[in-house]
């Protein structure tokens, strides 16, 4: 800090450097004494495998293969692979089409309320209940409905929707709620509150 030498002695003591740290021996090994591990490539392993393949050829295990020739895929094997690939692709397309036809969010009986009056809450604690949410968010306005999304077993999925009676009440919620010591993020009509 420039100009500290102009300060009186009682204030100069505040800017005095601290004493140096005492020396302690390092806990781990000295980096200079650590030896390198000798790592070799796979060339020797490749040569070993080729020798083993040649030994197999010499003993007569290979059918119709000459020396130095590598096994190739036959046309029948390649056709089988192609057929399996096409079957998997067709099966995925059928599953997608069935899911696409069965997806009807307009017919969801649980999805009610105006989206502009709805507050989305994520990263919700698994033990949170609707009454806890109602108590936590009722201070911002009158709540029409609270819904914690649950899986088929009845356990919370970690997010919820709070529907307010007025859009103004929903927008009055401007700070992040800390719920059960877990940060809870909310989204109001597409904008993340921070």
What are the two backbone dihedrals, phi and then psi, of residue 79, each rounded to the nearest 5 degrees? -65, -40
Residues of the chain above pLDDT 90, percent: 24
**Domain of 174: which CATH number?**
3.30.70.330
The 10s digit of each residue's pLDDT in 121-142 is: 989 888 889 999 999 888 888 9
Domain, as residue range, for 184: 115-192
**CB contact at 8 A, 127 and 166:** no
On whether residue 125 sits in a domain, the answer given is: yes
Number of domains in the chain: 1
Integer Cα distance of 167 and 131 in angstroms: 21
Q: Supply the pLDDT for residue 182.
A: 44
Q: Supply the pLDDT for residue 66.
A: 65
Integer Cα distance of 75 and 86 in angstroms: 16
The 10s digit of each residue's pLDDT in 101-122 is: 988 877 877 777 888 888 889 8
On whether residue 63 sits in a domain, the answer given is: no
The 10s digit of each residue's pLDDT in 61-77 is: 545 566 666 666 677 88
Regarding pTM above 0.85, the answer is no
Q: Supply the pLDDT for residue 175.
A: 45
- Residue 15 has which token pair? 């800017």
């Amino acid at each position: 800090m420039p100009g500290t030498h102009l300060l009186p002695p009682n204030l100069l003591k505040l800017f005095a450097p601290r004493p140096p740290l005492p020396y302690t021996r390092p806990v781990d090994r000295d980096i200079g004494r650590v030896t390198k591990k000798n790592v070799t490539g796979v060339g020797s392993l490749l040569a070993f495998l080729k020798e083993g393949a040649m030994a197999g050829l010499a003993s007569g295990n290979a059918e119709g293969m000459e020396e130095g020739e590598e096994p190739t895929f036959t046309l029948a094997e390649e056709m089988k692979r192609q057929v399996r690939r096409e079957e998997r692709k067709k099966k995925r397309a059928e599953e997608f089409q069935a899911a696409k036809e069965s997806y009807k969010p307009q017919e969801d009986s649980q999805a009610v309320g105006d989206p502009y009056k709805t507050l989305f809450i994520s990263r919700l604690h698994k033990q949170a209940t609707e009454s806890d949410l109602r108590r936590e968010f009722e201070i911002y306005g009158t709540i029409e409905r609270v819904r914690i999304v649950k899986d088929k077993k009845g356990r919370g999925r970690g997010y919820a929707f709070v529907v307010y009676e007025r859009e103004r009440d929903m927008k009055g919620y401007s700070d992040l709620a800390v719920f059960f010591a877990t940060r809870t993020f909310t989204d109001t009509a597409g904008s993340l509150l921070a």
